[in-house]
């Protein structure tokens, strides 16, 4: 999700399984074709892991758009997440890049920084940005001022909320989890002392979730400056490194946070050993299957945040490679895919969130209607009502959400450097201030080598 979550985490938030079926091994064999255009123009469109579950939805949109745009045929190719970067780079090298492609923000930003994506500013109609959540639209821009480029049109979103075990909360003396990170130390101590369990799990495994980077931003840490140099070796950064190092050394975080990823948090929560987990609404459906006893005492809560109250959002984008000869048509198609009615339909089918403002308003309204009067969760369909409440809470979170970790080139390297040094501090191998300084030095050496 920049706040980029990794495909496995994003699919967990979607409620999708890890075994999405692939239509064929090669790009050509997994294409979906509509009726031919009169003049033979073909707009090549790539998505990530949507087939075969969403075939009817995507093919229906393609048919509708082709009907409105005679003379252009859309060729749809669904690509596995695990191979999209390799396949797209190979296509760019062979000058066979698609006209429109669904990418996660880090890879899209990396391509944009190398001049591989079209600046959409010159082909977007006036006022196009107004249809989308402002903070989400802004996340698809690169550069500042007059030189800024719009390299992406936002599509679907996910926003984490807190799922918490009410029984553990009550035993720890809490009616709800804390709202801000500043309340976590006392909360974590109460949970550990009174229940023998842990309050939360935030991994520092370098190649896993970016959640901790997002939390650092919520805690007031600026990661990079305008020249892509480290800005995190600051008073806020030192407080944040000391915060997490201290929690770990006091035994208030599971020991595995330095060695295991997000999946371990799910396992601990399902076993009743964790008071809360940050995840998406459909986690409740899986929990009802995998751990019905824990599901029965689970409730959704607003996500933890910093003093500013900002939450993180994960974004999936649509971008136009620079090689496309149909940039204007591809942009029109992207705007069609992401308009209010089409986003609302996809949000309801895939249980994701729309980036379109009208679609989001309509989704919230439909969830409120489905929930019915207060107390509906106590009725026989209480578990389904709980899922609906979680979805509504997740949608409402978007009003104060943004991509906390901008999709700048090298962000995964930044994560690896920061996490590795924080691990050292947590394990007592080095003072937290020294670990932070080392991380800043390592990143700056990398940045100088890459950008000069």
Name which of 297, 264, 300 is nearest 281 in CA terms: 300
Return the H-helix or E-strand segment holding 235. Answer: helix 235-249
Instruction: Summarize pLDDT for 118-165 with one digit per residue, the tens.
Output: 999 999 999 999 999 999 999 898 876 667 889 999 999 999 999 999
Cα distance between residue 265 and residue 354, in whole Å: 27
- Choose the most confident range, by mean pLDDT, from 105-109, 189-193, 312-316: 189-193
Whether the bond between 52 and the residue before it is cis, its omega within 30 degrees of 0, is: yes
Instruction: Summarize pLDDT for 194-246 with one digit per residue, the tens.
Output: 999 999 999 999 999 999 999 999 999 999 998 899 999 999 999 999 999 99
DSSP E strands, 272-392: 276-279, 298-301, 311-312, 314-319, 353-354
With 0-12 / 13-18 / 19 or more C-beta atoms within 10 angstroms meaning exposed / middle / buried, residue 340 is: middle
Cα distance between residue 184 and residue 246, in whole Å: 12
Residue 15 has pLDDT above 60, yes or no: no
Looking at residue 146, what is its pLDDT? Answer: 66
Task: Compute the average pLDDT of residues 336-364.
Answer: 97
Q: Quick check: 439 and 417 in contact, CB under 8 A?
A: yes
Q: Which of 10-24, 71-85, 370-384 has the lowest mean pLDDT?
A: 10-24
In this prediction, residue 33 has a pLDDT band, given cuts at 50, 70 and 90, of very low
What angle do the packed helices 411-426 and 105-113 form, to 10 degrees? 120
Cα distance between residue 431 and residue 249, in whole Å: 12
In this prediction, residue 277 has a pLDDT band, given cuts at 50, 70 and 90, of very high
Cα distance between residue 133 and residue 200, in whole Å: 30
Residue 23 has pLDDT above 70, yes or no: no
Tokens of 381: 């369909």
Looking at residue 113, what is its pLDDT? Answer: 78
Model confidence, pTM:
0.86
Looking at residue 114, what is its pLDDT? Answer: 80
What angle do the packed helices 327-337 and 55-68 form, to 10 degrees? 130
Looking at residue 374, what is its pLDDT? Answer: 59
In this prediction, residue 35 has a pLDDT band, given cuts at 50, 70 and 90, of very low
Direct distance between the N- and C-terminal alpha carbons of the chain, in angstroms, rounded to an integer: 29
Reduced to 3 states, what is the DSSP secondary structure of residue 378?
A: helix
């Amino acid at each position: 999700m920049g706040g980029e979550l990794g495909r496995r985490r994003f699919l967990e938030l979607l409620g999708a399984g890890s075994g999405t079926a692939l239509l064929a091994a090669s790009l050509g064999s997994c294409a979906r074709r509509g009726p031919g255009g009169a003049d033979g123009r073909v707009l090549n469109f790539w998505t990530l892991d949507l087939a075969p579950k969403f075939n009817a939805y995507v093919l229906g949109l393609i048919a509708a758009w082709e009907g409105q745009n005679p003379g252009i045929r859309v060729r749809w190719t669904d690509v596995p997440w695990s191979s999209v970067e390799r396949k797209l780079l190979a296509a760019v090298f062979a000058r066979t890049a698609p006209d429109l492609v669904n990418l996660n923000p880090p890879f899209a930003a990396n391509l944009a920084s190398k001049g591989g994506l079209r600046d959409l500013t010159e082909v977007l109609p006036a006022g196009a940005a107004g249809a989308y959540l402002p903070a989400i639209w802004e996340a698809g821009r690169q550069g500042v001022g007059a030189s800024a480029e719009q390299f992406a049109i936002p599509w679907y979103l996910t926003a984490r909320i807190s799922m918490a075990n009410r029984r553990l909360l009550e035993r720890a003396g809490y009616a709800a989890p804390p709202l801000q990170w500043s309340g976590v130390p006392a909360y974590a101590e109460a949970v550990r002392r009174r229940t023998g369990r842990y309050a939360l799990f935030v991994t520092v495994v370098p190649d896993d979730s970016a959640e901790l980077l997002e939390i650092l931003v919520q805690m007031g840490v600026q990661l990079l400056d305008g020249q892509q140099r480290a800005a995190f070796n600051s008073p806020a950064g030192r407080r944040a490194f000391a915060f997490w190092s201290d929690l770990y050394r006091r035994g208030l975080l599971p020991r595995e946070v330095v060695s295991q990823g997000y999946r371990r948090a799910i396992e601990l929560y399902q076993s009743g050993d964790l008071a809360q987990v940050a995840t998406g609404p459909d986690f409740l459906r899986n929990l009802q299957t995998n751990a019905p006893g824990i599901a029965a005492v689970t409730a959704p809560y607003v996500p933890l945040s910093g003093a500013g109250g900002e939450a993180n959002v994960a974004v999936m984008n649509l971008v136009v490679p620079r090689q496309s000869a149909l940039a204007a048509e591809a942009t029109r198609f992207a705007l069609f895919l992401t308009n209010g009615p089409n986003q609302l339909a996809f949000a309801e089918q895939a249980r994701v969130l729309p980036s379109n403002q009208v679609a989001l308003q309509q989704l919230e309204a439909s969830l409120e209607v489905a929930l019915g009067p207060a107390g509906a969760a106590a009725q026989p369909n209480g578990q389904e009502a709980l899922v609906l409440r979680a979805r509504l809470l997740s949608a409402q979170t978007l009003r104060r959400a943004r991509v906390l970790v901008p999709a700048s080139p090298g962000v995964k390297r930044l994560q690896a450097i920061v996490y590795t040094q924080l691990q050292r501090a947590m394990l007592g191998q080095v003072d937290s201030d020294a670990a932070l300084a080392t991380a800043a030095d390592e990143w700056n050496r990398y940045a100088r080598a890459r950008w000069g």
